[in-house]
Amino acid sequence: MTSKTGAEREKRAYRRRSEEERIADLEARIAELKSKKAMRERKDDPLLREIPKIQKQLRRFAQVAMDLRRPDIANSTTAFAASLDRTLQAELETTHSRTPSMEDVV
C-alpha cells in the first residue's frame, strides 16, 4: 500500500462564482421570498395557499409514473402542475398590482 505525499495528491478544482452569478442567485432567492410573502398575505383565498402543496404531490406522482415507464401520464401531470404555477403567478401579480409598493408611497 503506497501513500501519496501532499504534492502527489490531486487537488480539487474549486470554481468561484462570479459576482454576476451570485447576484443572479440572490435575485432569484429574493423573488422566491417575495412570492412566499405574497402567498402568506393572501388570507382571503385559501385555494391559492393549497397550490404549492398539490404541486409537490403532483411532482411525486409524475416521478412515480416515470419510474413505472408511463411518460404519458408523467407529462400530463407535469403540464397540469405548470398550469397551476402560471395561475398562481398570475394571481400573485394581480395582488401586487392592487397594493401600492414602497416605491409608490415614497
Within 8 A by CB and 6+ apart from 37, the residues are: none
pTM above 0.75, yes or no: no
Instruction: Decide: 61 and 77 in contact? Cβ < 8 Å.
Output: yes
Q: Is the pLDDT of residue 105 over 60?
A: no
pLDDT tens-place string over residues 46-62: 787 788 889 999 999 99
* Secondary structure element (H or E) that encloses residue 3, with its range: none
Give the model confidence (pLDDT) of 69-78 as tens digits. Answer: 999 999 999 9
CA distance 38 to 23: 22
Of 89, 96, 104, 98, give the one whose Cα is nearest residue 32.
89
Site of grid cell 407529462: 75
